[in-house]
Structure formats: C-alpha cells, structure tokens
Amino acid sequence: MKKVFIAAITVLATSLSTMAATDFNRLIVENSKAQNELHNQIKSSVEDVRVAVQERVQDGSKTFSIAAEAVQVKTDKKFLTFAKEKKYYQPSESKAQKRLAEEFQNLE
C-alpha cells in the first residue's frame, strides 16, 4: 500500500512539473510574439515620421528645431549650493577686510 501511494505521488509530481514547464514555455512564446509585434509597430511609426520629414524637406517648408539653439546664461552660485552650505557659510576674515578696503577705495 505504501509503495502504491509513493508511486502515485511521484507520477502526480512529474505530471505537474511538466504542465508547469509547458505553461512557462507558452508564456515565453507569447512574450516573444508581443515583442515582435511591438518592434514592427515602432519600425512602421519611425518610417512614417521619416516619410513626413522627407516630404516637408522636398516642399521647402522650414522646420524648426528646439535643440538647435543653445542659450548660455550665467548662473548665480546661490542656485547651485545646497541649503546646508548656505546656512553654515562664513566668509573668511581676510576676504572681508579686503572687500571693505576695496569699497573704501572706490568711495574716493
């Protein structure tokens, strides 16, 4: 009786493992099909954009590119410092005296 029970459990376990493997393989196949469909959709949309741009260029209409213009602006140091750095910032005594001396010189 024990041997029959163990044999039945072994057969049941192997059949369940093969079912899980086939289910897993089916998931992989579905995933690869979906990936191929997405790839084809992207290819077609890129091709549509290429055709539209080519038609615009042939028509002679101007196209504007935002990335073509680069504007360089001087950035203030206080925008690039951390709040903790702003809180604990203390100028050196020698720089403060030099700045004060320059201010007095500029007054004259």
| Three state DSSP letters for the chain | CHHHHHHHHHHHHHHHHHHHHHHHHHHHHHHHHHHHHHHHHHHHHHHHHHHHHHHHHHHCCCCCCHHHCCCCCCCCHHHHCCHHHHHCCCCCHHHHHHHHHHHHHHHC
pLDDT of residue 38: 93
Domain count, the chain: 1
Share of the chain above pLDDT 90, in %: 18
pTM over 0.85: no
pLDDT in tens, 25-43: 888 889 999 999 999 999 9
pLDDT in tens, 59-91: 665 555 555 566 677 777 777 777 777 666 677
> Structural domain of residue 13, as residue ranges?
2-107
8: confidence class by pLDDT, cuts 50, 70, 90: confident
